Amino acid sequence: MLNYANLFFLCIAGFLAAFVDSIAGGGGLISVPAFLIAGFNPHYALGTNKFAATTASFTSSLKFAKSGKVNFKVLKFIIPFTLVGAALGVKTVLLIDQQFLYPLVMVMVLFVGIYSLFSKTIGLDNKFEKITPTNITLGILLGFSIGFYDGFFGPGTGSFLIFGLIHIFKFDFTNASGNAKFLNFISNITSLVMFAIEGKIQYLYGIPIALFMIVGAQLGTKAALAKGSKLIKPIFVTMSLGVAIKMLINML
């Protein structure tokens, strides 16, 4: 039975989450707590959110790809490992309590946000030159580990991917966001299939929320492509610090 007040609240939260997420990641900071506030059981909150967020992620990925901000020569090596990592992550989350991860992840996300805030040059220029065995190996490790983490837990996935891609491949924020969004779509669609198999999605809520998320993702990606790194960096820092603060509040 639909609760229309909850549905309206979740659609607005979904729109805002997708708008922010398509620019700099961190949309789960808005959408997952919204599902929990609306009274969703944690596993259904993760599953239904993943369903709606995957549609937005696809929309955003497609727009970044059409604008030439996705490097498929790099991603073809990383995508299979991201997929496997995400599948293993979902299988694990359905068996294990997530709470033990909070302190570690909070510190990591906090580091990413503070480092990016005080680094004057990080991600402002695209210095990617070529594919090397070293950067591909590091990229594969990043894709697998973040894929697993996204399937298992989620908060900060976009921040970790963007930060990792900037440091491994020397992308600027715009190109890092485009490639991160595509990898995030891979982990999202994999996780979605796994949650669907386990029956952890409420489609009556998920479908209308997904429509609002698609609109949010379209507008967010358009803003990111128009304004570039000057827009993405401050939102990236804000969302990274926001994720860390939200996790600290949950711990306390």
Q: Where are the domains of the chain?
A: 4-251
Q: Specify the pLDDT at position 34.
A: 87
For 126, 213, 217, the CA distances from 22, given in Å and listed in that order, are 19, 10, 5
Q: Are 71 and 172 in contact (CB under 8 A)?
A: no
Render pLDDT for 104-163 as a digit per residue (tens, 0 to 9): 666 766 776 677 677 766 666 778 888 999 999 999 999 999 999 888 777 678 778 988
Render pLDDT for 73-86 as a digit per residue (tens, 0 to 9): 999 999 999 999 99
Q: Tell me the C-alpha distance between 76 and 168, whole Å.
A: 16
Q: What is the mean pLDDT of the chain?
A: 85
DSSP H stretches of helix in the chain: 4-24, 28-37, 42-66, 72-93, 102-118, 133-152, 157-169, 173-197, 203-227, 229-251
Confidence band of 168 (pLDDT split at 50, 70, 90):
very high
Which amino acid type is present at position 97?
A: D
Model confidence, pTM:
0.80
Q: Specify the pLDDT at position 242.
A: 75
Name the range with the highest mean pLDDT among 41-50, 117-126, 174-183, 242-251.
Answer: 174-183
pLDDT at 2 over 60: yes
Q: Specify the pLDDT at position 120.
A: 66
Q: Specify the pLDDT at position 151.
A: 84
